[in-house]
Amino acid sequence: MTTAQRPTLEAVARRAGVSRATVSRVVNGSTTVAEPIREAVRRAVTELGYVPNLAARSLVTQRTDSVALVMPEAATRVFSDDQYFPGIIRGAAQELEAADKQLVLMLAGSPAGHERVERYTTGRHVDGVLFASLHGADPLPGRLARLGIPVVCSGRPLGGTPVPYVDVDHIGGVSRAVQHLIDSGRRHIATIAGPQDMVGGIERLTGYQAAMTPAGLPEWVAYGDFTRESGATATRRLLAEHPDLDAIFAASDLMAHAALRTLRATGRRVPDDVAVIGFDDIETAAYTDPPLSTVRQPIQEIGRRMTRQLLRLAAGEPIEPAVVLPTELILRDSG
Amino acid sequence: MTTAQRPTLEAVARRAGVSRATVSRVVNGSTTVAEPIREAVRRAVTELGYVPNLAARSLVTQRTDSVALVMPEAATRVFSDDQYFPGIIRGAAQELEAADKQLVLMLAGSPAGHERVERYTTGRHVDGVLFASLHGADPLPGRLARLGIPVVCSGRPLGGTPVPYVDVDHIGGVSRAVQHLIDSGRRHIATIAGPQDMVGGIERLTGYQAAMTPAGLPEWVAYGDFTRESGATATRRLLAEHPDLDAIFAASDLMAHAALRTLRATGRRVPDDVAVIGFDDIETAAYTDPPLSTVRQPIQEIGRRMTRQLLRLAAGEPIEPAVVLPTELILRDSG
DNA sequence: CCGCGGAGGGAGAGCGCTTTCTTGACATGG
DNA sequence: CCATGTCAAGAAAGCGCTCTCCCTCCGCGG
């Protein structure tokens, strides 16, 4: 293994016949260096293959040029085949790339993992922290915010301290979907709600109610946790309690998919007997049988916007405390 | 914004009434410190909320305690609804957490992105680099390896320089699947192969041939790129050229899923008329119609093993140059 | 001809940590 | 009772970089 002693500023300076300070100026794009010297330094840099030592730079600048993206580990399992996890990451990665910053991914599943995230982020090892898909009222984002560490969440955080966030219009999207069901003549519309310790779960249920209550229709709710299994169970329960239901709004496509199958297993035709609409617009939605109508949310855009907000925050610029992106009703064949 | 001047070693040392060196020893778990002093230091650390500055530590230790995971950006799109992307990440994250190291995620989609990855990794800003799902003969892993930077790939890299890798037994898994089709009486077995610039694509095709050739059966191949669209196209082409086919092995579940739908659209029953087997065992596979038989690969385990190998490499321990994990034939209803 | 202003470049002081070297304290053996 | 050995803890030297002075040099006006 060639230890390949990598060149330092010093080496470049010697080679270019200037001082370390000048090399530093050139590397960091200061304008106060005369063009010939500038050029000489650049040549030395190339010849030596100089790459700045970020640790050393960090030490003095107090910046790390990296941001953490924290996801509950469950997200990688629960949402395993929707696009949430990769979508957020891609969006964030794109924006960070443009800003030449690194993405440090942290999965905070176990209590130990959570503790680790806390230690790492409060230790100011990153310039900011992105929280995706928070469960319950996690105190960490608020705590970081109070420490003056830039933080942005996906989804309005449930904790006490207000933290900037980016979210989609769950309520509007869902109530539009349910209204569509009502408009097409459905009168016995049930919902499979998501977990009520997540903002998405709560608001999608609110959206359902927002459309049903004014219409004076009965509200039938079963709860799931966004997964297929829970969707199947919930569908069976709804069917048992309300055999006459003629539509189901499911708070996730995964649950909607399970509903589709469960309905068919009990001899119902979709959409003839029962209409089904989901939420997310995962890729699979277009390939279910029948293809699933759903509420699309711009996941990648969420990641992008979160990151943009965070970078602004880190740069000391003011930002709006909440960004809400639109959702879109995608009508396919199921409802 | 409280700048909250965070405490340094110096501060802890003063508070505990010892020298910086001693605090450093305690923090890093050296055994040569007497228990009472040890305890005093620990108390000071807690009271002050001291967290070591990693940049400073890095500067002197020459380690960064972080490793990069590089994925072609396409992976987050192409594999968007299989578990590859999240699976590798979870596996890697688990092992890194145990080792208390950070995961720096880099998406190398564009040429610019690739250049950025190269700059970052060759700059020794990480202790090692994990490459997932390489396309073509990327020279970067080999180059890093030659620079003495620990590297591990998922899937045997196609480049010239040998690089340690972790992969699954594509050939064995596929040929077992195809053999199963043969054993159940199928004689006109086509395959939808994956991209031939990826090791997985190549070897799954080899596995098909490995079972077909000895059986003296005709080999019918159409190429896709692992996506559903390509699977549908390939199925139509196969059907047009070989209307009498009675089985299809698809190199990905996504393509197999599309095959299922395309076959049904042309009036074929699965598995009565045509059997279908896929590869991956994505979650959706259990929910297709009919449920898809497939070759399961332990994705998360790949991520874990890659990381383990990398950490060994970084620690200067010897590792075996290739780890091949077993695949498993999962029989459902489609074939 | 002298003084002054401004711009370009260098010297040097750390940033917070690890680690070697050294010292001091104490116990043991001759 | 002194020499020797052992072990714990401190002093101090950087790791590679940025950035604040400060100096030098040049051009120009009085």
DSSP string, A136-192: S--SHHHHHHHTT--EEEES---SSS---EEEE-HHHHHHHHHHHHHHTT---EEEE
**Which positions in chain B touch A147 (Cβ < 8 Å)?**
2, 4
The answer, yes or no, to whether residue A82 has pLDDT greater than 70, is no
Q: Residue A4 — very low, low, confident or very high, per pLDDT cuts 50/70/90?
A: low
Mean pLDDT of B120-141: 88
Q: Where are the alpha helices (DSSP H) in chain A?
A: 9-16, 20-27, 35-48, 54-61, 75-78, 84-98, 111-122, 140-146, 170-183, 199-215, 228-241, 253-265, 299-314
Mean pLDDT of B280-292: 92
B234 or B49: whose pLDDT is higher? Answer: B234
What mean pLDDT, rounded, does chain A reach? 91
Hey, what are B315's tokens?
């620690």
Among B294, B296, B254, smallest CA distance to B276 is for B294
Strands B66-71, A220-223: pairing kind: unpaired
**Which positions in chain A touch B148 (Cβ < 8 Å)?**
1-4
**Which positions in chain B touch A89 (Cβ < 8 Å)?**
76, 105, 107
Contact A228 B283 (CB under 8 A): yes
| Interface membership of A113 toward B (CB under 8 Å) | yes
pLDDT digits 0-9 by tens, A260-312 = 999 999 999 999 999 999 999 998 899 998 999 999 999 999 999 999 999 99
Hey, what are A254's tokens?
């995964």
φ, ψ of residue A161 to 5 degrees: the values are -65, 130
All structural domains of chain A, each given as residue ranges with its CATH number in brackets, are: 9-52 (1.10.260.40), 66-168+299-325 (3.40.50.2300), 170-296 (3.40.50.2300)
The answer, yes or no, to whether residue B138 has pLDDT greater than 50, is yes
pLDDT digits 0-9 by tens, B194-209 = 999 889 999 999 999 9
- Pick the range with the lowest mean pLDDT from A49-58, B68-77, B302-311: B68-77
> Which one of B4, B86, B147 has the shortest CB-CB distance to A80?
B86
Q: Residue A77 — very low, low, confident or very high, per pLDDT cuts 50/70/90?
A: low
The pTM of the full predicted model, rounded to 2 decimals, is: 0.91
Using the CA of A20, give the nucleotide whose C1' is nearest.
Answer: C10
* Strand D–CB A8 distance below 7 A: yes
Q: Report which listed range, A68-77, B78-87, B140-149, is most confident.
A: B140-149
| Interface membership of B59 toward A (CB under 8 Å) | yes
CA atoms of B110 and B114, how far apart (whole Å): 6
The answer, yes or no, to whether residue A203 has pLDDT greater than 60, is yes
Among B161, B166, B155, B334, smallest CA distance to B249 is for B334
Mean pLDDT of A91-113: 90
| Interface membership of A120 toward B (CB under 8 Å) | yes
Other C-beta atoms closer than 10 Å to the C-beta of B37 total 16
The pLDDT assigned to B2 comes to: 41
The pLDDT assigned to B215 comes to: 97
Other C-beta atoms closer than 10 Å to the C-beta of B147 total 15
CB A270 within 8 A of CB A276: yes
Mean pLDDT of B234-243: 97
The pLDDT assigned to B30 comes to: 75
The pLDDT assigned to A3 comes to: 47
Contact A116 B104 (CB under 8 A): no
Among B288, B301, B222, smallest CA distance to B261 is for B288
| Interface membership of B98 toward A (CB under 8 Å) | no
* Strand C–CB B25 distance below 7 A: yes
The answer, yes or no, to whether residue B83 has pLDDT greater than 90, is no
Mean pLDDT of A169-198: 97
Contact B4 A148 (CB under 8 A): yes
The pLDDT assigned to B36 comes to: 84
The answer, yes or no, to whether residue A78 has pLDDT greater than 60, is no
The pLDDT assigned to B110 comes to: 79
Which chain D nucleotides are covered by protein, judged by CB under 7 A? 7-20
CB B227 within 8 A of CB B169: no
* Residue B294 DSSP label: E
What mean pLDDT, rounded, does chain B reach? 91
The answer, yes or no, to whether residue B82 has pLDDT greater than 80, is no
